[in-house]
Amino acid sequence: MDIHHLVKMANSIGDFFGSEPDKAKGAKGVADHIRNFWDPRMRRQIFAHIDQSSGEGLSDLVLTALRAHRKELSA
Amino acid sequence: MQSITDIDLGTPRRTSEKQITLEIDGVNVTVPEGTSVMRAAAVAGRQVPKLCATDMLEAFGSCRLCLVEIEGRRGYPASCTTPAEAGMKIRTQSPRLADLRRGVMELYISDHPLDCLTCPANGHCELQDMAGAVGLREVRYGYDGENHLDRPKDTSNPYFTFDPSKCIVCSRCVRACDEVQGTLALTIDGRGFASMISPGQMQNFMDSECVSCGACIQACPTATLMEKSVYAYGQPDRVVETTCAYCGVGCSFKAEIKGNQVVRMVPNKNGQANEGHSCVKGRFAFGYTTHPDRILKPMIRKSIEDPWKEVSWNEAVAYVASEFKRVQEKYGRDSVGAVTSSRCTNEETFVMQKLVRAVFNNNNVDTCARVCHSPTGYGLKTTFGTSAGTQEFASVDQADVIMIIGANPTDGHPVFASRMKQRLREGAKLIILDPRAIDLVRTPHIEADYHLQLKPGTNVALINGLAHVIVTEGLANESFALERCDPDEYNAWKAFVSQPKYSPEEVERITGVPAEQIRQAARLYARPGNSAIYYGLGVTEHSQGSTMVIGMANLAMATGNLGREGVGVNPLRGQNNVQGSCDMGSFPHELSGYRHISDSVVRAQFEKEWGVHLDAEPGLRIPNMFDAALDGSFKAMYIQGEDFVQSDPNTQHIERAMRAMECVVVQDLFLTETAKFAHVFLPGSTFLEKDGTFTNAERRIQLVRKVMPPVAGLADWEITCAISNAMGYPMNYNHPSEIMDEIARLTPTFSGVSFEKIDRLGSVQWPCNDKAPEGTPTMHVGGFVRGKGKFVLTEYVATDERTSRKYPLILTTGRILSQYNVGAQTRRTENVVWHDEDVLEIHPHDAEQRGIKDGGTVEVASRAGRVVLHARVTERIQPGVVYTTFHHPDTGTNVVTTDNSDWATNCPEYKVTAVEVTPVSRPSRWQEQHRDFTEQQEDLLEQRLTKS
């Protein structure tokens, strides 16, 4: 899939959970949402993007969330 | 003419805790207080003659035929306007009454054509019936005096005629238009003998404000207002009750049939969603079911450049099975998927998602709710615990304040709009949040108290602004919020919306809505009493669609407007069974009843019932399927009655995805835009050709009953089962009721549902289980389904779709009354007389700046594409915003819309596209290519015909 599109989708999820004052809770919200709604190939691709280009374009919260919860999100 | 099986009790039903007993012709009868003598008599089995009375309308007392005698009272009061009283003694028949009634009938008949044998109402004419009932044997006045028999017939409406020569001026049509429909398009012109029914200002029906709902026809006691289909086919001879297949209101109809020819669709007076009312689509627009464009034989082809080859059902099904197996073997288990149809029945969508999960063994299934109300499912489940609206339609009768957000009920949900208008005429207050002046902003006898005409894309800022006022002015119902919801979350939300950035003044900067209007509207919504929110796709089809749904839920919880009648958060859902298709597990992450696929306990129940192992990972959503098709990981798709090439955003992106797949199977009625990209076409069945259930916007499950056999041979559920069987997984149901039994076994909210119960009760609103054996009209009474209501912070985030010097206007899209969705059905009916093309609404200021004239040809260009259509210059739309519909494929409205989407659900952002509009003289490049492609595909279909 178009990685730019996936990055945009992930960041928009991050925008929503970014209003959570507790950043760890916000990151968990991002991770849970991606775990619950993203098909495994989409998750694999976003992690490949992180591995290959340090997650270029991903917001800080999303990058934090994906790195912190990679194990649960791996498919 | 009412339905041929209707029994008319004369005046409307009254509800009262107090019952009264009176005597009618020596028979005691007990009725609720407020019931008329006429209705009480009918309940007692005594029919009082009547002409101006009908139980769909308030009593009028004009025809003087229903006179009765009341012991101890002088004169002969009209039974329709006389309330029954305890102890009354009524006589409905006496020599004097008979004389009076005959005298009245003589006058009527002296000015009525005596053409009963050739009249379309013959046998079902109330005037004819009454002449018989009163024993009319002669007309002393003769027929030669001044009369109305030469009045010309108005045939302007495509569906019905108005023959004033047959009119008895009973005013039933006028009152139906006023009371039931609320359009007030009809009046009585003139006085005394010169009185006559007048559409508008003595116009013909087509030129008047008439919306062709048909209420007047149903009310007419003669053939004055009559369906043209009755003229054409004659009287129907049998009746089947079924449910409309258009919008999410779910009107119950009596299909009146002769052989297998539907003659009329008459709204069912006992229908619990519509109570005898209908709109132009449900009542009249059924001609598509027999349209010659319908494809009635399965077809296959290797490439979309090839001609179609007609094959037998067995060949087609075997081919589909072999293709899905081949693709999965070559590209992997996850390379195939399906889309269920929100126009098909619950049972059909259930077996479709079962095919995906149990046979394809993945979760790549989705439904068109993805592009409309998926944010509703997410937002209401997050906050309340249930992915559905909170009320039944009748709840609006108790609302004191109605807030309509991003919905246009008179066009999208007209039958519910009529009910809402009744309540507004009774005095309920009205707040409208909409960029566009929808009809309800100002319509006869109704004017919105506040129209917050916000800029598209700023909903969340506005809802936060309303919340700010409520919280900072101490208007919240804190006892409700703190008791029924999580107190910590409530306090966090309260602090969040109290921030200065959500003050009305700051919100005005974002939304364009004056701060004082925001304050006044918030105070009105939060005042004591019942405030109800009704909303539509103007809420959901945004990049923050889910956030806005949550924001509305927050507002309702903060003000205690939940858990009783007259309040709530109510999505006006688009398609007839979009609620049901979601309930049935059509989303890629959920099994039926909205239970996540990762829940091993739930999954185990399905695995046991189905005898298979289920994948625990969520599957692809529709837009993800397109993206995956383009990256080569998604290769085959089974599409049940959806036309996303026309309906979904960024058409060119979808077209590329469709071309990238190796096997596209489309099950539909016509060669739709999507079917033009198909390799297999399976002819589907209309709602008239199958049994099943639809679930409407108020969670009401209603029966769809087979009116005629499937024209192409199989109902849609049978096709899906046949494919499953061919792939080696047996699905052998004898009847859709057996599928519902399986749904009930597997779905806690449906555990008490069965066809037998729905048939017995007329309908059932889920949850229906041991706790609520007859269903649940109002949700969250006494507590939320999720336990404590959840307040969630709703930060406003501006959409990425920004205006610029190149694209300075915002395009927002919607729909209109006479057309439905992509128009595949309604474009194949006479409804095209009202809307034969999509047009662009543009404000006079914007038009003037660009040299655009009303009716001129303009190009709409966005970052995604360009289309050309005609302009309509109107102040209905605000400066800086343009509006159009997407009902016609040649327009290609969605060529312009982008693939921006809701953060939570990927619901497309149809409502905000930055565009520029310029005058042009020729179609866009896409439109020219589309015309060529359509010609090619129609030729290929034609070639199939010559080979058969």
Residues of B within 8 A of A9 (CB-CB) are: 901, 903, 906
Chain A: residue whose CA lies nearest to B595: A36
The residue among B265, B178, B169, B179 whose CA lies nearest residue B222 is B169
Residues of B within 8 A of A21 (CB-CB) are: 492
Alpha-carbon distance of B333 to B625, in angstroms, equals 14
Instruction: Test B793 with A36 for CB contact under 8 angstroms.
Output: no
Instruction: Test A12 with B624 for CB contact under 8 angstroms.
Output: no
Instruction: Give how far B337 is from chain A: nearest CA, Å.
Output: 12
Alpha-carbon distance of B333 to B723, in angstroms, equals 17
B814, B883 in Cβ contact below 8 A? yes
Taking residue B158's Cβ as centre, other Cβ atoms within 10 Å add up to 19
Residues of A within 8 A of B334 (CB-CB) are: 39-41
How far the first Cα of chain A sits from its last, in Å, is 16
Instruction: Give how far A19 is from chain B: nearest CA, Å.
Output: 6
Q: Does A12 touch chain B (CB under 8 A)?
A: yes
Taking residue B442's Cβ as centre, other Cβ atoms within 10 Å add up to 11
Instruction: Test B630 with A2 for CB contact under 8 angstroms.
Output: yes
B26 CB-near residues (< 8 Å, 6+ apart):
none
Q: Which of B591, B594, B602, B624 to mutate to test the interface with A (most CBs of A within 10 A)?
A: B624
Chain B: residue whose CA lies nearest to A74: B617
Tell me the three state secondary structure of residue B920.
coil
Residues of B within 8 A of A16 (CB-CB) are: 546-547, 795, 797, 903-904
- Identity of the residue in A9, A35, A39 whose CB atom sits nearest the CB atom of B620: A39
Instruction: Test A37 with B589 for CB contact under 8 angstroms.
Output: yes
Alpha-carbon distance of B388 to B594, in angstroms, equals 10
Instruction: Give how far A55 is from chain B: nearest CA, Å.
Output: 19
Going from the C-alpha of A8 to that of each of A48, B464, B633, B878, the distances in angstroms are 16, 25, 20, 30
How many helices (H) and strands (E) would you count in chain B? 30, 36
Residues of A within 8 A of B794 (CB-CB) are: 19
Chain A stretch 13-52, residues whose beta carbon is closer than 8 A to a beta carbon of chain B: 13, 15-16, 18-21, 33, 35-42
Instruction: Give how far A64 is from chain B: nearest CA, Å.
Output: 18
B824, B672 in Cβ contact below 8 A? yes
- Identity of the residue in A12, A19, A37 whose CB atom sits nearest the CB atom of B618: A37
Residues of B within 8 A of A13 (CB-CB) are: 903-904
Alpha-carbon distance of B1 to B20, in angstroms, equals 32
Which contiguous run of DSSP H or E holds residue B323? helix B313-331
Instruction: Test B624 with A15 for CB contact under 8 angstroms.
Output: no
- Identity of the residue in A16, A19, A41 whose CB atom sits nearest the CB atom of B334: A41
B12, B58 in Cβ contact below 8 A? yes
Residues of A within 8 A of B633 (CB-CB) are: 1, 41
Residues of A within 8 A of B797 (CB-CB) are: 12, 15-16
Q: What is the dihedral of CA B117, B121, B124, B126, to 10 degrees?
A: -100
Chain A: residue whose CA lies nearest to B905: A37
Task: Render pLDDT for B212-255 as a digit per residue (tens, 0 to 9).
Answer: 999 999 999 999 999 999 999 999 999 999 999 999 999 999 99
Interface of B with A (CB under 8 A): 334, 364, 492, 496, 543, 546-547, 588-589, 596, 598, 617-621, 624, 627-628, 630-631, 633, 793-795, 797, 800, 899, 901, 903-906
Task: Render pLDDT for B311-358 as a digit per residue (tens, 0 to 9).
Answer: 999 999 999 999 999 999 999 999 999 999 999 999 999 999 999 999
Instruction: Test A19 with B496 for CB contact under 8 angstroms.
Output: yes
Residues of chain B with confidence (pLDDT) below 70: 945-948
Average pLDDT, chain B: 96
Could you check whether the bond before residue B767 is cis, i.e. omega within 30 degrees of 0? yes
Going from the C-alpha of B80 to that of each of A52, B20, B65, B408, B942, the distances in angstroms are 81, 17, 10, 36, 61
Q: Would you state the structure tokens that stand for residue B249, as one six-digit string?
A: 């209101």
Q: Which of B331, B361, B489, B617 to mutate to test the interface with A (most CBs of A within 10 A)?
A: B617
Chain B: residue whose CA lies nearest to A32: B904
Which DSSP state fits B632?
T
Residue B948: its pLDDT value, please?
Answer: 46
Residue B143: its pLDDT value, please?
Answer: 81
Instruction: Give how far B267 is from chain A: nearest CA, Å.
Output: 41
The identity of residue B735, as a single letter, is: H
Residues of A within 8 A of B460 (CB-CB) are: none
Q: Would you state the structure tokens that stand for residue B335, as one six-digit string?
A: 């390379």
Instruction: Give how far B467 is from chain A: nearest CA, Å.
Output: 17
Q: Would you state the structure tokens that stand for residue B770, as one six-digit string?
A: 């041991």
Residues of B within 8 A of A62 (CB-CB) are: none
Backbone angles phi, psi at B207, to 5 degrees: -90, -5
Q: How many CB pairs under 8 A join A and B?
A: 65
Residue A75: its pLDDT value, please?
Answer: 72
Instruction: Give how far B355 is from chain A: nearest CA, Å.
Output: 18
